Structure 1
């Protein structure tokens, strides 16, 4: 039987066609393009300039995601702050300042590995702050019926950045050096801060109710809600598993392309950029595929298609053009998969989380889901040193595909859409059960 999802979001949200959403969309688009440059520049700087080992490159990736281990506490704090928009602006400014220390250090004659680690940690922490404030901001900006469409637009921009960003980043790095190239990302965060800061948005005073309103109690409440909710629990298990295994490979892919496949920075950027057209195509088609297959089945499809192509990258060989083409094909399929997974899943999660616990649930989700990423990256570095890069990529592909097993017994595969008319009818029939399963009862706090 098809399942619809109850709407628990504020009726005062704004549709994407409101002129405030395009402003936010523009800021995020600019920021995404800058991120692609830094994602290529940091590991290449470590590999080419500092002669970093696989374990050191993996540590760099791990430090970017390590602050997510504290997201559950930060989300609890963010939930009690009224001005989520200001927190997002602050996060952008912190990231810009941290990145600008790299060209400054380069101008002074040195960029030690310790500085790369510090930049990774600070930008990661600011990213956690931004992401904890983002869900409430998004839910106030976009109507529930438009979640998939709005997420598709944001993901389309992100996908487009993966198409042009790596090629642009590779060219900038070759022309200007990696430390100077990250200036583009710093400037993109400043643009994002200006655009978000100019968005007028009604942000009501957060609720302070609950039997346990302490800082730790609110954090525990967010985790309890996540684990008790059948949709969020399955989504968390699947996303955490797939992130662990894909991040075994994430920090090593550039290293693999450069050292094992022998590709230049420009060739790596071009291969990853062309391959990222898969993400662009996936983002554009995700709403249509979700309508055709149903949201839930699209999520399951994406959960499999996202990690599996890592095995294709692992077998790359032959002449340089063939190695680059195989890397490109793997990136294409992975990009399409991650969009088919992320866009409907993000929309579904936004629909089932009440606004009053949105940031703390987001923090709890990030602590587990994103917190596993540094562990995956460190595991990848250890495995690469022990068994080599190719076997490590194959293991990552196989383990990542198994993540879909979390979804199959859950309600997610039966979810067809977020249609508000169907939701109203489903709400009337399912209210008693939903109240029992979904509400963050005082006993769970």
Structure 2
């Protein structure tokens, strides 16, 4: 039976703005308060989805969230009509209003951790929504994320869904941004690679000093248990705390893996040799041949990696066994990074081609190609059981492009977030979107 890695990209929401909410994310903080262009952001994301579909890759779409999140503001003591809640929050606690308007759910690499059926004890694809409790504006996402994923992967014979882990610091979980799977074929048993920034209960693990380590070892272990993963099919590795302090807030900012290949920076991990040996040994036991491509610090510094998002790229398998790397334009603009990529592809190694995409609107808020997609390995039967409304096709691309053109603003500033009309625009757009994607009622305003 054939199997696929399907990339479900996050559709950028109508309230895409630069709130500078993510401490530790250099791009997010440095572009704070600038005016954004939600329409351009959504169209840039859709263009990437369409391009990958046209290249022959399986592609899906994951819907954005309702914003501003008026229900979250009510839980914080703001009352009255929806318009009054927004007005009060704007006057009394503008940072909370900005947080409630965040379109950060576009980066669906943080939506959940996914384990394919070939790895799990019950032979189903397992999803655990990420609690994202390190940042308030992201911690409010997981209830809607769970409903959207449930509507996309509804067949209980093939799919299992788990609630987010307890929303406490000890179980900080950032989803697939710190999770990679290695395998010979997507439908065969593989090795799941969990990267953590700190341990909640074991002080033998060093921690960063400047920026928070968002993923804990204990959260990763809990997800592995929930998914029924075998010990011999799991590897845990610690992210280098020094690179976290340089703005590497997730592992997918410093490493990316696919198939049997790990593409990583020399300074990405602690105890790198031990980790590589464990990955190689465990993958060999299931018939795989683990390979790694290390980018030396002498060629690309950590600062280069953070500014260009070289590693927040998509590493895709082509039919001839070679790899294609999808990178943002910022890689081309960085002389050292681009020189390295040219030498990498000309060497005739594992990564043979690089394609560049304009994702400036997302990049300015700290999210590149890898942030925008959630990878789900599916066999033919499981793919047929996915809600067909969320699988990208040429007609769906046309419908979503027209939908964005109809509903999205082309400029959004912090002042615009105080406009109650923005909430009505968002709800109108999302109500129509659920019909386009055949999701049913997944948003609070549709349910309550």
TM-score, normalising length: structure 2: 0.25
Structure with bigger RCO (C-alpha 8 Å, 6+ apart): 1
Structure with greater strand percent = 2
Structure with greater helix percent = 1
